[in-house]
Amino acid sequence: MTPTRNTQALAREKTLVVHSHAKINLYLDVLQRRRDGFTNIETLFQSVALQDTLEGSVSSDEIHLTCNLDDLPTGPDNLVCRAASLLRAVSGVDRGAQLHLTKRIPVAAGLAGGSGNAAATLVLLNRLWQLDWPVQRLLSLARKLGSDVPYCLIGGTVAATSRGVHLEIINLPAPLWVVLVHPPVQISTAAMYTHPRLTRNTQQRFAGKTPAFRRALRALRDGAWVRVVFNRMESAAFAEYPELADIKAELLSRRCLAAAMSGSGPTLFGLCRDEQDATAVASGFSGLQTTVVPMCARGLQFDSQDTLVDYTS
């Protein structure tokens, strides 16, 4: 297909850049299996200032992705390509995009890097293709791409239930600094959900939340981090990879306010009151990759720093 004059002009004039932030799970509980094969969870998501960067410009009718990591597949199964193809199919646009992804968030690390990339794609192409869709319409597509993608559109501090797609924004009392420890371990999320050591919360939910989750949210409002931070999947992951339990114990011994594994792992995190404390904690992990970052209030942002999404329930 020959590009239209409008497409050619946009390609010359617009190259947009969107940064997608990593997330940690301050709280993660596993509830019952659902009839659709998924599992209900209760979680407290938090964005942190470790980010990937997606650059995009209009091309002809093709969607083409490149990446700074040679070993990361950039074909149609990549979440960036899947998000772009879904948005184009639903919107009916006849444009393509040239996309380049710079990865800094470790892959398959429990930090939702791929989900954040998909969310960045939806927002970038919504503006690049001049669709001007509201966030609720983008959220409907995000739910089709993965359980973490809707949250990644919003970012900040969010309580999530069901499959993790029912979202409620939380006002964080005081942002903290986070030490991320990245052990060289590969963990299968599916294997963790079926692991014999994984127990499930069988409490009855009231108005969509279990008593345990309600207690954690009250503790969050009080800034009682030791009563907030929890990950039920640690029992399965630590049984298979005891070195992860050792890292958590080391974080706590270095006087982090609280520590846990993020998602199904393998990344672990410790919470600190300020950058100085976080840097001191990270310096003790010789031989392991660490990242020191603050919590942040958004999941995505353009280079111009403008807020991308104002979520209203």
Active site residues: 23, 148
**At residue 265, what are phi and psi to the nearest 5 degrees?**
85, -175
| Region of residue 54 (phi > 0: left; psi between -120 and 50: alpha; otherwise: beta) | beta
Handedness of CA 24, 185, 104, 55 (dihedral sign): negative
CA within 13 Å, CB half, 277: 17
Residue type, 202: T
From 138, 151, 154, 155, select the one nearest 87 (Cα to Cα): 138
Q: What is the DSSP letter of 25?
A: E
Residue type, 31: L
- The position carrying tokens 């393509």 is 96
Nearest-10 crossing angle of helices 135-145, 113-128? 140
Cα-to-chain-centroid distance, residue 220? 20
Buried-state track 66-97, b at ≥16 Cβ within 10 A, e below 16? ebeeeeeebeeebbbbbbbebbbeebebebbb
From 65, 75, 76, 138, select the one nearest 102 (Cα to Cα): 65
Q: What is the DSSP letter of 227?
A: G
Who contacts 21 (Cβ-Cβ below 8 Å, separation ≥6)?
47, 48, 49, 50, 51, 116, 155, 296, 298, 299, 300
